[in-house]
Amino acid sequence: LYRGIRMALLDFSKVRQLFGNEVNAPDEAMYRELFVLVLARATDADAYSHPAEVSTVQRVIKERLGEDISAADVRIAALSKLYESVPLSKLLAEGGPRLSKSQRCAVVEGLIEVLRADDKVSSREADFFNMVVQALGLTAADAVGLKVD
């Protein structure tokens, strides 16, 4: 028993997880949360939540995650107090390494659908898109879906 306790204590697995030094496999829960946060926040990237953007978020989340989300919940997520304590770019930079490349690309693909929902992309929305791509550690080629050998 003593040896088992000592080995667990010296493993430091919880400390490594805390500082993000150990990422064993893509984290599905992290993916789902970041997917919703990014898409919801995109509806407010230009300080105006167009109804077409909100309904697109609802549709994309249903298609990609199999979850229903109300328009009110999209708006609440877009304006979450979470962004006051930690900027989205930091959340993505910390959470991105816990996602597979295909999951990170899926977030960007969903984001593109939302940004195109109202048939125009503002400069603030383009800046938001660029921030998401960069924070997730993706390249421009990744962002546009190019499969590089």
Model confidence pLDDT, tens digit, residues 35-61 = 999 999 999 988 778 899 999 999 999
Amino acid identity of residue 132, one-letter, is: V
Assess contact for 117 and 55: CB atoms under 8 A.
yes
Predicted pLDDT at 3: 44
Model confidence pLDDT, tens digit, residues 77-108 = 888 777 777 788 988 998 899 899 999 999 99
Give the model's confidence band at 142: pLDDT under 50 very low, under 70 low, under 90 confident, else very high. very high
Least confident of 5-19, 36-50, 117-131: 5-19
Amino acid identity of residue 3, one-letter, is: R
> DSSP letters of 23-81?
--S--HHHHHHHHHHHHHHHTTTTS---HHHHHHHHHHHHHHH-----HHHHHHHHT-T
How large a percentage of the chain has pLDDT more than 70? Answer: 83
Q: Structure pTM?
A: 0.81
Q: What is the mean pLDDT of the chain?
A: 82
Assess contact for 101 and 142: CB atoms under 8 A.
yes
Predicted pLDDT at 28: 85
In angstroms, what CA-CA distances link 115 with 53, 75, 125, 126?
Answer: 7, 15, 7, 8
